[in-house]
């Protein structure tokens, strides 16, 4: 089980969190991109190997959103908010 370090609550089980997805590029203006680019933005999820910056919501805890770096090969958290590990 993944233990996610919350800056307010300490290390907590991933079952208390909702995965918000990887931190990505800003949402494009749908009127400024082609239909194919818009469909790709909406439907193609990045799935890189290695460290990925992700958003997590502590839904069953303090309610904070946090950003962590997680290695997708090992699921190890390689960097947590405010240096918490």
**Residue range 27-40, pLDDT digits in tens:** 899 999 999 999 99
Residues of the chain with pLDDT under 70: 81-85
pTM exceeds cut of 0.85: no
The domain locations on the chain are: 3-83
Q: Give the integer Cα–Cα distance in Å for 17 and 20.
A: 9
Q: d(Cα 83, Cα 32) in Å, to the nearest integer?
A: 39
Q: How far apart are CA 54 and CA 68, in angstroms?
A: 5
CB 7 within 8 A of CB 84: yes
pLDDT of residue 84: 54
- The fold for domain 3-83 equals Folate-binding fold (3.30.2270)
HEC readout, 34-54: CHHHHHHHHHCCCCCCCEEEE
């Amino acid at each position: 089980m993944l233990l996610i370090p919350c800056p307010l609550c300490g290390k907590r089980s991933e079952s208390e969190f909702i995965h918000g997805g990887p931190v990505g590029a800003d949402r494009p203006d749908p009127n400024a991109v082609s239909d194919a680019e818009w469909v790709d933005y909406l439907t193609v999820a990045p799935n890189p190997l290695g460290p990925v910056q992700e958003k997590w919501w502590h839904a069953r805890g303090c309610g904070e959103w946090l950003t962590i770096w997680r290695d997708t090969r090992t699921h190890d958290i390689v960097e947590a908010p405010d240096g918490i590990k």
